[in-house]
Chains A and B, each alone.
Chain A
Amino acid sequence: MTDPLPPADGASTEAPSAGRAARAVERRSSTGFGRYLLKHVSGAAVSLLLVLFSSFFIFRLIAGDPIDQLTKERPVSPEQRAAMRAELGLDRPLWQQFWDYITGTLTMDLGESFQYRRPIFDLIVERLPATLLLSGTGMVLAVLLGFWIGTRSGWKQGSRFDKGQVATGLVLYSAPTFWLGMIVILVFARYLGLFPVNGMRSPSTPPDFWSQAVDIGHHLVLPVLTYTAVVYAGYLMIMRSSILDEIGSDYLTTARAKGLRDDEVRQKHAVPNALLPTVTLVFLALGSVVNGSIVTETVFSWPGLGTLFVNAIFYPDRPVLQALFVLFSSSTIVAVLCAEILYWFIDPRIRRS
Chain B
Amino acid sequence: MTSTTTVSPRALTWARRRQSFQRSWAAYRGQRTGMWGLVLLGAIVVIALAAPVLIDESALSVTRATGERMAPPSAGYPLGTDETGRSILALTVWGSRLSLLIGLTATVVAIVIGTAVGVTSGHIGGWYGWVALRLSDWFMVLPSLVVAIALLAVLGRSMATTITVIALVSWPGTTRLVRAQTLTVQSRPYLERAKALGAGHWHQMTKHILPNVLPLVLASATLLVPSAILMESSLAWLGLGDPGVVSWGSILNRASENGAVSAHAWWYLLPPGIAILVVVLAFMMCGRALEAVFNPRLRGESS
Contacts and interface: CB of A to CB of B under 8 A. Distances in A.
Interface of A: 43, 46-47, 50-51, 55, 58-59, 62-63, 157-158, 162-163, 166, 170-171, 173-180, 182-183, 185-186, 190-191, 197, 241, 244, 287-288, 291-292, 294-295, 298, 309-310, 313-314, 316, 321, 324-325, 328-329, 332-333, 336
25 contacts: A47-B141, A50-B138, A58-B150, A62-B154, A62-B155, A157-B303, A158-B303, A163-B303, A170-B284, A174-B276, A174-B281, A175-B277, A176-B230, A176-B237, A178-B238, A179-B233, A179-B269, A179-B273, A179-B276, A186-B269, A190-B264, A321-B150, A324-B146, A328-B143, A329-B146
A322 B238 CA distance: 18
A324 B143 CA distance: 12
B238 A298 contact: yes
B240 interface: yes
B303 A176 contact: no
A175 B141 contact: no
Contacts of A62: 154-155
Contact of A179 (B151, B153, B226, B252): B252
Contact of B261 (A46, A185, A329): A185
State the 7 A-B residue pairs at the shortest beta-carbon distance, nearest first.
A179-B273, A174-B280, A174-B281, A328-B146, A313-B153, A63-B154, A291-B143
A316 B156 CA distance: 12
A329 B134 CA distance: 16
B142 interface: yes
Interface of B: 134, 138, 141-143, 145-147, 149-151, 153-155, 226, 230, 233-234, 237-240, 249, 252, 255-256, 260-262, 264, 266, 269-270, 272-273, 276-278, 280-281, 284-285, 301-303
A176 B138 contact: no
Nearest to B149: A313
Nearest to A333: B141
A176 B276 contact: yes
Given A176-B230, A178-B234, A324-B146, 20 more contacts: A55-B150, A59-B150, A174-B278, A174-B280, A174-B281, A178-B252, A179-B252, A180-B273, A182-B255, A183-B273, A185-B261, A186-B269, A190-B262, A241-B301, A292-B143, A294-B149, A295-B145, A332-B142, A333-B141, A336-B141
A101 B216 CA distance: 43
B291 to A, nearest CB: 11
B277 A171 contact: yes
A208 to B, nearest CB: 31
A46 to B, nearest CB: 8
Contacts of B255: 182
Contacts of B149: 294, 309-310, 313
A181 B271 CA distance: 15
A351 B285 CA distance: 38
Contact of B143 (A171, A197, A310, A332): A332
A287 B237 CA distance: 24
B231 to A, nearest CB: 10
Secondary structure call for the A interface: helix
Given A170-B284, A174-B281, A294 B146 contact: yes
A310 B255 CA distance: 18
A176 B261 contact: no
A230 B290 CA distance: 23
B269 A329 contact: no
Contacts of B256: 178, 182
Contacts of A162: 303
Contacts of B154: 58-59, 62-63
Given A176-B230, A313-B153, A325-B146, A182 B276 contact: no
Contacts of B260: 182
A291 B146 contact: yes
A183 B301 CA distance: 35
Given A179-B269, A332-B143, A295 B234 contact: yes
A58 B151 contact: yes
Nearest to A316: B153
A174 B40 CA distance: 14
Contacts of B303: 157-158, 162-163, 166
Given A58-B150, A170-B281, A158 B138 contact: no
A175 B234 CA distance: 11
Nearest to B150: A325
Contacts of B301: 241, 244
Interface centre among A43, A46, A328 (most CB of B within 10 A): A328
Nearest to B302: A158
A175 B274 CA distance: 8
Contacts of A43: 134
A176 B255 CA distance: 15
B281 A171 contact: yes
Contacts of B270: 183
Nearest to A167: B33
B284 A47 contact: no
B237 A321 contact: no
A110 to B, nearest CB: 15
B261 A177 contact: no
A58 B272 CA distance: 33
Interface centre among B149, B262, B276, B285 (most CB of A within 10 A): B149
A244 B297 CA distance: 12
Nearest to A198: B261
B141 A182 contact: no
A178 B237 contact: yes
Contacts of A59: 150, 154
Contacts of A158: 302-303
A263 B127 CA distance: 52
Contacts of A63: 154
